Amino acid sequence: MNEQELQRLVEDISQAVFDKPFRHRASFNRRLKTTGGRYHLGSHDLDFNPLVLELHGAEEMEKVVKHELCHYHLHLEGRGYLHRDADFRKLLKESGGSRFVKDLRQTGTIVPPKWLYSCSACGQLYPRKRRIDLKKYVCGKCKGKLRLKSQITTR
Ligand SMILES: [Zn+2]
Ligand SMILES: [Zn+2]
């Protein structure tokens, strides 16, 4: 899904579920770590974490869009737009928005270091995910020569 498609999705859901237009910008933001989306009070724009779609699929993405649209519409109408507000809770329930975003930590996709190098002069250790060119890299502390100490086998 690209940003244009995201914009369309938010506009469509806004019209279909809230019966009101979404007149601002929706964009993806990879810097959102554990939040699924964010509503900007100043610009009224929405940010979405692309991991929601990548890890949990389109259905979960729609729920997050609904959640952010609850903030959006309530805030623009001067109603209670915070999580604790009764207006927000009611609208969230009616629209079917997500209450909590699903886990967005990418456990299992993180590649552990596989190669262990050490400095032949000072002994500093350098765990690395990939093999490194020993002719090109030297110790960051003392500029000594690096050598392959072992191959880490964890799986
Ligand atoms: Zn929220
Ligand atoms: Zn060294």
The number of the ligand nearest the C-alpha atom of 118 reads 2
> Once rounded to an integer, what is the mean pLDDT over residues 114-128?
90
pLDDT (tens digit, 9 = 90+) per residue, 22-77?
999 999 999 888 889 999 999 999 999 999 988 888 999 999 999 999 999 999 99
Measure Cα distances from 34 to 60, 72, 124 in Å: 15, 20, 34
What pLDDT is recorded for position 29? Answer: 94
> Once rounded to an integer, what is the mean pLDDT over residues 123-152?
88
> How close is the Cα of 72 to the center of ligand 1, in Å?
10
Residues serving a catalytic function are 68
- Residues whose CB is under 5 A from ligand 2 (ion)? 119, 121-122, 124, 139, 141-142, 144
What pLDDT is recorded for position 155? Answer: 43
Give a yes or no: residue 100 inside a domain.
Answer: no
- Asked whether the predicted pLDDT for residue 111 surpasses 70, the reply is no
Q: How confident is the model at residue 108 (pLDDT cuts 50, 70, 90)?
A: very low
- Asked whether the predicted pLDDT for residue 112 surpasses 80, the reply is no
Q: Six-digit token pair at 104? A: 């967005």
Give a yes or no: residue 38 inside a domain.
Answer: yes
Annotated binding residue 56: no
Q: Which residue has the higher pLDDT, 144 or 101?
A: 144
Name 126's bridge partners: 117
Residue 62 and residue 135 in one domain: no
Domain that residue 29 falls in: 3-95
> How close is the Cα of 136 to the center of ligand 2, in Å?
15
Give a yes or no: residue 127 inside a domain.
Answer: yes
10 Å CB burial of residue 88 (0-12, 13-18, 19+) is buried
Find the CATH number of the domain harbouring 31: 3.30.2010.10
The number of the ligand nearest the C-alpha atom of 98 reads 1
Residue 22 and residue 80 in one domain: yes
46 three-state secondary structure: strand
> How close is the Cα of 60 to the center of ligand 1, in Å?
15
Number of domains present in the structure of the chain: 2
118 three-state secondary structure: strand
Annotated binding residue 67: yes
What pLDDT is recorded for position 19? Answer: 97
